[in-house]
Structures are given as structure tokens and as C-alpha cells.
Amino acid sequence: MNQKKNAVRILIVDDEAIVRESLGNWFREEGYEVAVAASGKEALEKLATESWDIYLIDIKMPGMDGLELQRKITEINPQATIIIMTAYASVDTAVSAMKQGAYDYIVKPFDPDELEHLIRNAVERKNLLSENIRLRQKIDEMARFHEIIGQSPAIRRVLEQVSLVAPSDTTVLIRGESGTGKELIARAIHANSPRRYMPIIIVNCGALSEGVIESELFGHEKGAFTGALYRRKGKFELADGGTLFLDEIGDISLKTQVDLLRVLEEKKIFRVGGNTPIPVDFRLIAATNKDLEAMVADRTFREDLYYRINVFSIAIPPLRERREDIPLLVEHFIERFARSMNKPVSGISRDALNLLMSYDWPGNVRELQNAIERAVLVCRGREIQPSDLPLHINDTRELPLGKSLADVERQHIQRILRETEWNISQAARVLGIDRVTLYNKIRKYGLARDGTT
């Protein structure tokens, strides 16, 4: 007996006893679980206490006919898979039944091969519906804020704003320093929005050159340029029905700003090399660590685009402004990395935690995450000790008091650059920030390789 078939329950509703008996016996021999009803009324009485995966309903029955029974079953279970049984003379009525939601119909007398094929497809549909429901439940469970760790007033305000704006289709601008978790907030907004069953497409604008971003966003037609061997959909199309998250939007060129503004206003795109307009429907969430107002004043960012994306703004506080969240974040990262590395690390010593609490975290949560990953990796006991933390965090004990935050940051970056012999990539990794941010800070503080400023 087929175990999968045995999990499928079929209800046969027909006023002809010979049909109920012959179909019932056939399905039972095939391994299905079968019940029968001689009328619509009897079927509804059974439905009051049980449910079935597939309903085989005769369309012509005395009293309640198949169409009325179908409507009542669908009211009880909108996902019910209903197959109408009919004679040649009433095929038109069966078609009407399909228009109001029946899965399919089959004409009497039954062709055994056709019936088997029909039931097999109905079982596949039932399995797909069950899987779809399971996936939606999983997405719904994710539509909370499990990944956003913190109980500080600052992070609670951010979550309140996420809850407020998520159910709408409003464009959101997320602002914050590198490493504060802007993508995490964008994902939380999407996961709690009506678009959550559709994709969220993420584009790091800062990582794409001017020559690449147009094709990435708009896609291209075959032969549009050298190397365009195939038609390719762009991010706008891939986000259709869902959310498009443009990270580091302050890095896009003026030309791309014009293109983006046009898409936001017209809700349609043209692939590179294409002439056919393609309608797109997506929600835009943008993020930046730059001062867009200053960029507008400098005319390096279009004012009309700025107002178009800045409908609702969420500012994520840097970690140094919500230090009370550090213990929770540390606990979260220790658990994650201990599990992934299969190490027995379960906590952190008070001295080590005090060091983390006194550090200013220029790389924010990302830098803290990297520090804990390293600490779990090198830890030889169950508790992370100060010696397990990166050297530059231990060095905070030597920082002189009375200096401004900028002075401390400049001194810290200078030290890391010296330790890495000005290897920008390595220094950025140690600091937990990206290379562009590090270059900006080097320019900001006027740092030089010979140690002068």
C-alpha cells in the first residue's frame, strides 16, 4: 500500500449507490482513505465533524445539487480540492462549477486511466497547497523581530517605527552608520508587510560600478551589448510584487538617480537594448550612511529624488548610543558562533564584558559580531576572557581620559592602520567597516602613513 496515498482522504458524494460503491472500492484498493455520502445534506453533516482532502461530487442530485454543495464546502474550506462528476448532457454546468472554483470535472462513465490521472494531479495540488501553507506559516513566524536584538529605548523606538510603516506601501529611507543593521531593518519591514510572501531584492549600490548598475537594475535584452548573450531580468523586475532594497543609495551616480526617479514615477522600465515597456510593482526601501541633505546642497544628489525616497525616515542609533544592548548582543552572538563552530563556549567573563562595554564600536554591531566570532574561535574554555578579544579592544584600557569621541576614533583608526601596515582591506575588516567608510574616515581625520595628521 502506498503510504503517501494513504494520507489522502476522499469524500464521494453521489445519489447513485453503484457509483459510490464502485468508486469507493477502487480508491480503497489504491490506498486512499474513503468516505461516501448519498446527498449534499449527508455530506455537510459529515463535514461538521471531519474534513477531506479531495471531494468527488455528482453535479445532479435530488435536493441540494453539486453546485450548491460546492459553494457550501468552499465556504467552510476555501482550499478544498473539488472534482465534479457529470454526464455528457451537463458538461456546461460542470464548466460553470470550475468557474466558481472547482479543481476539475470528469464525465461519466469514467475512463479508469483518466480518473487515475485526475486524482494523481489532485493529490499533487493538495500537497502543494499544504506546502504553501507551511511556508506561509514559516514566513509569518519570521515576520517578527527575532533578529533585531536589543531592549534599549533607542532600539525600541526603531522597532515602533518599523511596526508603524511596515503594513503600508510607503517608501522608507533608513539612515545610520555602517554596521548598525540597516539591511536587518529593511528585512523586518518587508517581513511584516503585505508583500512578505513575495521576494525582497537587495542591491548594494556602493558595490556596483556605473557601467554595471544600469544592467543590474533594468536587465538587458540579448545582444544589447558585447557579452549580452541572453535576455536577463533586472532587479526591478525581480522585485515585482515584493520589495526592492537599495543599500548605500548615496553612492549612485546622477544618471542612475534620473533613471531611478523615472521608474518610481512611471512604474515601468525598459530593459537595456529593449523598446517594450515593462510594468513593475515594488516597494522601495533605501538606506544610506551619508548626509543626503549636504549632498543635495552640493548638487551631487537630486533634490526631487531625495524627497521621493525620504517619505518615512528611520534613523538607527550607533552602538555607542545604546550600550545597554551590548550584553544581549554578546549573548546572542556567542550562542550563534558556539553552535556553528561546535564549541562549548557559553558565556563571557565580567572583565571581558567590561572591555566591550567601554569600547566605542566605530564599526557598530558588525564590528561587535566580528569580535565575538574571533573570541569564540580562540577561546579555550567555556567563558570568553579579555585575552580572547581583538587586540585593539584590549587597548581601550590604555586610552587617556578627557578626549573627545572623534579624538578616540582617530587614534584608534591610526593604530589599526599602523598594525596592518596600511593594508586598507585588512584594516577595514579589523574595524568592522567597509573600505569606502575607512577611506572617508582617513580623509576626515587627515591621517597619513607616516603618522602625521
Predicted pLDDT of residue 3: 46
Rounded to whole angstroms, the Cα distance separating 249 from 121 reads 47
Rounded to whole angstroms, the Cα distance separating 265 from 72 reads 45
Pairing outcome for strands 172-175 and 283-288: parallel
Cis peptide before 390 (omega within 30 of 0): no
Read out DSSP for 45-103?
HHHTT---SEEEEES--SSS-HHHHHHHHHHH-TT-EEEEEE-GGGHHHHHHHHHTT--
Radius of gyration of the chain (CA): 31
Beta strands in 239-397 (DSSP E): 243-247, 268-269, 278-279, 283-288, 312-315, 347-348, 383-384
User: CA 117, 27, 51, 91 torsion: positive or negative?
Assistant: positive
Nearest to 88 by CA among 108, 114, 111: 108
C-alpha cell at 443: 580623509
C-alpha cell at 72: 457550501
Identity of the residue numbered 375: A
Three-state secondary-structure class, residue 168 = coil
Identity of the residue numbered 214: E
Residues 6+ apart with CB under 8 A from 263: 236, 269, 280
Indicate the pTM of the whole model: 0.64
Identity of the residue numbered 122: A
Predicted pLDDT of residue 140: 66
Rounded to whole angstroms, the Cα distance separating 144 from 140 reads 8
Predicted pLDDT of residue 399: 53
Contact (Cβ atoms closer than 8 angstroms) between residue 334 and residue 346: yes
For the chain, 453 residues long, give each residue's pLDDT as a single digit of tens: 444 455 689 999 999 999 999 999 988 888 889 999 999 999 999 988 888 889 999 988 988 988 899 999 988 888 889 998 887 656 677 777 788 888 888 888 888 888 888 988 988 888 888 888 777 777 666 656 667 888 899 999 999 999 999 999 999 999 999 999 999 999 999 999 999 989 999 999 988 887 788 889 999 888 878 777 888 899 999 999 999 999 999 999 999 999 999 999 999 999 988 889 999 999 999 999 999 999 999 999 999 999 999 999 999 999 999 989 999 999 999 999 999 999 999 999 988 998 998 888 989 999 999 999 999 999 999 999 998 998 778 765 555 555 666 777 787 788 778 777 788 888 887 777 888 888 888 888 888 876 555
Contact (Cβ atoms closer than 8 angstroms) between residue 65 and residue 59: yes
